[in-house]
Amino acid sequence: MVSKFSQVLSVTRQAPELIVPARPTPREVKQLSDIDDQESLRFHLPLIFFYKNDPSPSMEGRDPVKVIREAISKALVFYYPLAGRLKEGYNRKLMVECNAEGVLFVEADANFTLEQLGDDIQPPCPYLNQLLYDVPGSEVILGCPLLLIQDQALLVQLV
């Protein structure tokens, strides 16, 4: 059953962009372990994390989206395989081609507060389709970005 709230819930997304590592990273191919390479694990897993804005003095006058973009770019230097792409090798063995193509980033704005979602954000979340960006072509895992990050600004509830 669809609630009245879900009918007015609106998320506006900017065009997706790729965030690449901030510095050059090794160009190599890394084979996945046999545990990670199981046929039954070849799918994308949607996860939602909610973080409250921290109005600390260090963030004063700074655009949170820009801070997040920069932090991802810097983190990808150390976690560079995440900026690569999966490919299949001999006998369908999965490998990560570490090519620094980047992770997918989507900036979004919403017309609701986290408090309005209430307990409905617990699985099964009835708003999952509205909250998550459906990446075109993501039903396959080969050649696609390994990570999609969506920064979604919710309305702020004034107390």
Q: Which pLDDT does position 86 carry in this prediction?
A: 93
Tokens at residue 148, please? 């999609």
DSSP H helices, the chain, are 4-8, 64-78, 114-117, 128-131
Tell me what percent of the chain is helix, strand and coil, each rounded to the nearest 5: 30, 20, 50
Q: d(Cα 30, Cα 41) in Å, to the nearest integer?
A: 17
pLDDT digits (tens, 9 = 90+) for 89-100: 998 899 999 999
pLDDT in tens, 17-70: 999 999 999 999 999 998 888 888 888 777 777 766 667 787 777 788 888 899
Answering whether pTM is above 0.85, one says: no
Contact 99, 26 (CB under 8 A): no
Q: How far apart are CA 130 and CA 141, in angstroms?
A: 22
